[in-house]
Amino acid sequence: MSAAPARMQPTVRVGVFLIALSATAPLSVDMFLPSMPEMAEEFGTSEGVLTLGVTLFLVSFAGSQLFYGPASDRWGRRPILLLGLAVYCLGGLMCLTATGVEQLILGRVLQGLGGGVGPALANAMVLDLYGSEGAARMIGYMSIVLPLAPAIAPVIGGVIATATSWRAVFVTLTGLGVAFIGWYLVTLPETRPPRAAVRPGLLADYKTLFKTPTFVGYALVMGLMFSGQLLFISTSSFVLIDRLGLSPAVFGIAFGSTALGLMVGATASSRLAGRLAGRRLVMTGAVTAAVATGLMAATALAGLEHPMLVIAPVFVSAVGLGVTRPSAMAGALVPFPHMAGMASSMLVFTQMAVSSGYNVGYTALVEPGVIALAVGMFIPIALAVVAVVVLRPGASEPPRDAEAAG
C-alpha cells in the first residue's frame, strides 16, 4: 500500500465529505422513523417489534467501532472505509427487498455494522489531514453542521414515505452509500500516515489509550454529557406532550431547539479554539450545561412545572455540549496520530456505551416525568464536571500563546 503524503492540503470538498460521512448514523436512524407505522401495517407486526430496527442498528453501530478503527490503523483507511460502505449498501438492499420483518431487521443490523465506519474513520481522517493544530477547528466545523442531520432527516424520510412508500427511504439510503463510495474514490487517496515502526499489538494499543488520563477523561466527559442529551431525546415526548400539554407540532419545534443549541455552542467553540486552551473550553461547556440542568432540577423539585422551564435549560445544556464536544474530541485524538483510527473508534464507542448504559439503567428505575428528566439530566452532566476536575484531561496541553510563539 502506498504511503500517505506527509500532509495534504484539505479542500472544501474534502471537508464537506468528512462532515457528510459523519452523518451516516443520524440519517439512517431518523429517516427510518416516519415509516414505522406503514411498515408495521404491511408486515402485520407491532411498532414495538419494529423499534428493534432502531435499537439493533445502534447496537451494531456501536460494536462495529471495535473493528473499524484498529483495522484502519493496520490496513489503511481506504480499504476499511470501502468495506464498511459496501456492507452498509448491502444492508440497505436487504431492507429494500424485505418480505418480512425478520429480513428488515437483519438488514438494519447490517446497515448499522456498515454505517459505523463513517464516524469511526471520518474523525481519524480529520487528524490525518489537518494535524494537531487544525483538528480542533475542523471538528468544530463538523459539530456546527452535524446537528442538522437529526433535525432534517425525519422530515426528509416523512416526505419520501408520503410521496411514495417506505421502500423509497431505503432506496435513498442505499443510494447515499453508493454516492459515498464514489465521492470518496474521487476525493481522497489513502490518508493514514506511514507506519514508522511495527506496532506492539492491539492489546498494547488499547492499554496505551486507557492508561492515558487525557483520553479517558475526555471520552468520559463526552459520554456523560451525551447521557443527559440522550435522556431528553428518549423521554421528552412523554414529559412535554403527555405531562405539560404541548401539541406534537410545538413539541417538534421544542425538540429541534436542542439541535440549534448544539450549533450555537459548536460555533462559539470554533471561534474560541484559537484563543483558549481546549481543556478550558471543555470545562466551560460542562459547567454551563451543569448549571442549566441544575437549575432545571431545582425548579422541578420545587414543584414548578412549565414547558419553558424544561425547554430553556435543555437549550442551554445543548449549547454547553456544543462548546465541549470539539475540544474534547480533538484533545482525545491528537496525542495518538499513530493510531488515530483506534482512538477515534474507541471515543465513539465509549460515548455510546456510557450514554446508552446510563439511559437504560435510569429509565428502568425511574418513570418518565418532569422531575425524573431534570434530575436525570443533571446527574451525568455534573459527573462530567467532576471528571474534568479529577482526571484533569489536557492538563499538559501548552497554552495557546506558547503554541503561537512556537
Rg (CA), the chain: 21
pLDDT at res. 399: 44
Considering the domain architecture, whether residues 228 and 368 belong to the same structural domain is answered as yes
Question: What integer pLDDT is reported at residue 195 of this predicted model?
Answer: 63
Last residue of a domain, one of 161, 187, 213: 187
In-domain check, residue 257? yes
In whole angstroms, give the CA distance from residue 172 to residue 67. 26
Do 168 and 258 have their domain in common?
no
Task: At 389, list the grid cell.
Answer: 476536575
Are 159 and 208 in the same domain? no
259 with 327, same domain: the answer is: yes
Whether residue 320 contacts residue 294, with contact meaning beta carbons closer than 8 Å, is answered with: no
Q: Would 406 be classed as within a structural domain?
A: no
- C-alpha grid cell, residue 212: 492515558
Q: How far apart are CA 366 and CA 353, in angstroms?
A: 20
377, 324: one domain: yes
CB atoms within 10 A of CB 187: 14
Looking at the domain assignment, is residue 45 inside a domain? yes
Query: First vs last Cα of the chain: how many Å apart?
Result: 34
If asked whether residues 216 and 365 sit together in one domain, one would say yes
Give per-10-residue mean pLDDT for the chain (406 aa). Answer: 49 84 86 81 81 82 88 91 96 94 94 91 87 75 80 81 88 95 90 66 80 91 92 81 81 80 88 81 95 97 94 95 90 85 88 86 87 95 95 65 38
- Rounded CA gap, 74 and 197, in Å? 12
- The CATH number assigned to the domain holding 23 equals 1.20.1250.20
For residue 85, give Cα distances in angstroms to 19, 80, 182, 196, 402: 15, 9, 10, 28, 42
pTM higher than 0.85 for the full model? no
Structural domain total, the chain:
2
Are 174 and 227 within one domain?
A: no
Domain that holds residue 173: 12-187
- Examine the domain organization and report whether 213 and 140 are in the same domain: no
What local confidence, expressed as pLDDT, does residue 144 receive? 79
